[in-house]
Amino acid sequence: MTRSDPPLPLARLRARNELGEITAADLRFLPTETEAFFQQALTFAQFAPPERAAAQAEAHKAILRLDAQLEGWVAGLRLVALALAGYQTSEAIKQFTTTFAGSHRPILDYFVHEVLNTLPASLQHFLLEISVLGRLTASLCDAVTEQANSSEQLQTLAQAGLFLEPLAGHEPWYRFHTLFAEAMQHEARRRLGRERLHALAYKASLWYAQQDLLAEAVEAALRAPDFARAATLIKQIGEDQRFYGKFQHTGLPNEFHTLKRWLEQLPPALLRQHPELCLEYATALLMIHFSVHHPTEVMAQIDEALRAAETGFRALGHTTKLAEIFAFRALLTRQHGEIHQSSTWAQQALAWLPPDELAWRSVSHGVVGLGELLAGRLDLARQQLQTALSLIRVIGNPHFLRATLGQLSAVSFEAGDLHQAAAYLHPVLAEARVVGDHDDIGHAQLGLAQIAYEWNHLAEAQAAATEARDAIRRTDNEALLASVELLFIRIQAARGERAAAQQQLGRVLAAMQPQRSPRHYYFYREIRAVEAQFHLEDGDRAAVQRWWTTCSQEERPLPALYAEREAALVGRWLLAQDKPAEALAWLARWQAQAQQGQRTGNALKIQMVVALAQAAAKQRAEATATLQAVIESTAPQGYLRLFLDEGNALAPLLHTLRPSLQAPHLRTYVQTLLRAFAHEPTMPTSAANSLFLIEPLTAQEARVLQQLAAGRANAEIARTLIVSVNTIRTQVQSIYHKLGVHNRIAAIEMARQLGLV
């Protein structure tokens, strides 16, 4: 048994399969063995009482931390166990495991007395000098120690088994055991002094830079500590973009954590002298804390860094970098719902950004696109978002790609193209689930839930909205969560659960903070409109009057996308007061505005109310024409709730319209709508039954239907009713047509559902 390789022909013995070796790697404990060791060596009940599950879990985490540091080193486990035996409380043990390092006295004594002091003086000195290095190779050690025999020295240390492990690579690279490195660094500070260690670190930084290992060069410069050199190297990395690519990562990349750690080690005064580094610091903070609402202290840090960067770049007249700052502010304000301000920043950024600055240009186009979407300028929104999408595909940013596809889906939804909206969202949801992006999961599932709601797939909408709510609750996006809750309210109302819907509406309103941002304010107005709709359905016109009076007195401008929805509700309110002429006059302007802006979703909502107002004004032909225009627009997309949410008064208009439709697909679509109306919770049974029939059965057809239900063949029915078989066949086909079926079995079943037999 020996720690070092014995003077034997090892290669020959291995080739002959005559050698059995048990190395340090074989002797290391696995994490499970480490935990078992501590359970035997300690009074584990004291470490983690069995009746306390939380304490047990904490103990398990503590052991995993120790195992990561000890790397299965058994002698170290014994030393730690001896140290832990002196602690009497779980809090004290937790404190020990959190702060444990190679400088811990028993560990340090072992490494110094049992390992370091057993070596020749020259080798001891060599080992202490190279302890400042994270990874070791002969040429690096030669440069740092100013020797020419580092290769032999490293081989001696490795063969002696002195906690030096080889790493994979073309040139032999090594690393020290973590605790051993910490212990040697502690001893080096005592024996060599800090100035010598700083000089060694500086030499290492020079060597790393010569080898184009810039990240390692920065680390060594910070240890020197030569902060000016570190700042120069960090700037070089930022210019090359080889260490981290702007916005090319998923999640929270380690590169940004490292960049933040580097920059926070620089003296603040030095950092402010480098506007590029101030901008990089703000970028690192943003990407690490990439969420809808950043912590206040983080926002303060980002703002301070951006101000310092802007001051520096303005002094230099560097418009490109100023444009990056504008784009940065656009991204930040967009996340916080300040859409108008963010769009202003983004437009200024686009005016100054060079064509090859793809990352910031993609951000700016996306922000402008979102602003155009909320303003209701859908064509401009689509153009900007498509441009952003093409740039994002080039730079390969999956997070921004998903976000942009989600916004394009919203554009399609507002433009009335439900199928395209869903097509955008399905890949977003699939990828977001893979990477665990809760924000994108929430957005995608909310969009899909809204589409399913429009198709009257209420169970599907409920399931998607539930997943959206669960995901959004983990992102602190209050405005988006309110939008999900609003959809739940609509689903409850559609199912006839009015009391539950109104209670939930009250809870959502109580939790809303409309003054937080314009985006919050828009959601707040939308929820208040739903509340007013409930009041209108309950016949409380005074409450609707108060709502509209309050809205009219608001000083904040409401984007067309939201204002048109409120306008449709005002039209319904005027109709409820039996003022169809006023309703038509009011709706005419809003309908023209929505159609001109190609906001098809809003235009359709307004047209529905227009049709009802025309019918109330006895303008039957106009009402039929308006409704037919809506049918022709909505049939390809399969809208149902658009009609159902207008209430039962619309059903008779549809029933009257159906026979006049020439296209078979439109007749089928209207029949689908009528059947959906018949299943609405608020539809009376007698009215529901009549809606199923395209037109009433004649007395003769009713008699034939009774015979069909009795199971009689056409010939029997003909003899019973004293008519020809051909006449019965014609009447049977007419019955099928009016019931909307294609065979006898379906006709009998439908007749039973309608109470006709």
Domain ranges of the chain: 23-99, 105-225, 559-692, 699-753
**Which residues does 318 contact at the CB level (< 8 Å), separation at least 6?**
275
Q: What is the pLDDT of residue 290?
A: 63
Pair 183, 103: CB distance under 8 Å: yes
DSSP codes, 641-695: HHHHTT-TTHHHHHHHHGGG--SHHHHHHHHHHHHHHHTSTTS-HHHHHHHHSSS
- Range from 231-240, 373-382, 383-392, 739-748 carrying the lowest mean pLDDT: 739-748
Return the closest-CA partner of residue 288 out of 280, 234, 306.
Answer: 280
Confidence check: pLDDT of 241 > 90: no
Tokens of 604: 């359709």
Residue 617 is given by DSSP the state T
Instruction: Report which residue type is found at 48.
Output: A
Place of tokens 């409820």: 576
Q: What is the pLDDT of residue 45?
A: 46
Q: What is the pLDDT of residue 584?
A: 96
Selected residue with higher pLDDT from 566 and 30? 566
Confidence check: pLDDT of 509 > 50: yes
Confidence check: pLDDT of 296 > 80: no
User: Exposure of 498 by Cβ count < 10 A (0-12 exposed, 13-18 middle, 19+ buried)?
Assistant: middle
Q: What is the pLDDT of residue 291?
A: 53
| Percentage above 90 pLDDT, the chain | 50
Return the closest-CA partner of residue 551 out of 536, 565, 534, 537.
Answer: 565
Confidence check: pLDDT of 512 > 90: no
CATH code matching the domain that covers 559-692, chosen among 1.10.10.10, 1.20.1560.10, 1.25.40.10, 1.10.220.150: 1.25.40.10
The pairing of strands 164-167 and 136-137 is unpaired
Cα(74)–Cα(96) distance, integer angstroms: 18
Cα(214)–Cα(206) distance, integer angstroms: 10
471-489 confidence digits (pLDDT tens): 999 887 777 888 899 999 9
Tokens of 561: 């996308």
Cα(710)–Cα(358) distance, integer angstroms: 74
What three-state secondary structure class fits 618?
Answer: coil
Cα(66)–Cα(48) distance, integer angstroms: 16
366-390 confidence digits (pLDDT tens): 999 999 998 889 999 999 999 999 9
Beta-bridge mates of residue 568: none
Q: What is the pLDDT of residue 532?
A: 95
Cα(216)–Cα(230) distance, integer angstroms: 10
CATH node for 105-225: 1.10.10.10
Host H or E run for residue 60: helix 53-70
Class of CATH domain 699-753 = mainly alpha
Tokens of 141: 């050690």
Confidence check: pLDDT of 243 > 50: no
Q: What is the pLDDT of residue 36?
A: 81
Q: What is the pLDDT of residue 126?
A: 93
Cα(410)–Cα(464) distance, integer angstroms: 16
Q: Report residue 645: phi and psi, to 5°.
A: -70, -10
Query: Other CB atoms closer than 10 Å to residue 55's CB: what's the count?
Result: 16
Q: Could you check whether 105-225 and 559-692 share the same CATH topology? A: no
Confidence check: pLDDT of 248 > 50: no
The highest-confidence range among 87-91, 144-148, 267-271, by mean pLDDT, is 267-271
Q: What is the pLDDT of residue 413?
A: 97
Selected residue with higher pLDDT from 27 and 432? 432
618-659 confidence digits (pLDDT tens): 999 999 999 999 999 999 999 999 999 998 888 888 888 887
- Range from 154-163, 164-173, 314-323, 588-597 carrying the lowest mean pLDDT: 164-173
Host H or E run for residue 516: none
Host H or E run for residue 73: none
Confidence check: pLDDT of 53 > 70: no
Output the CA–CA distances (angstroms, integers) from residue 399 to 186, 404, 477, in the order listed: 43, 9, 17
Cα(425)–Cα(445) distance, integer angstroms: 8
Confidence check: pLDDT of 575 > 80: yes
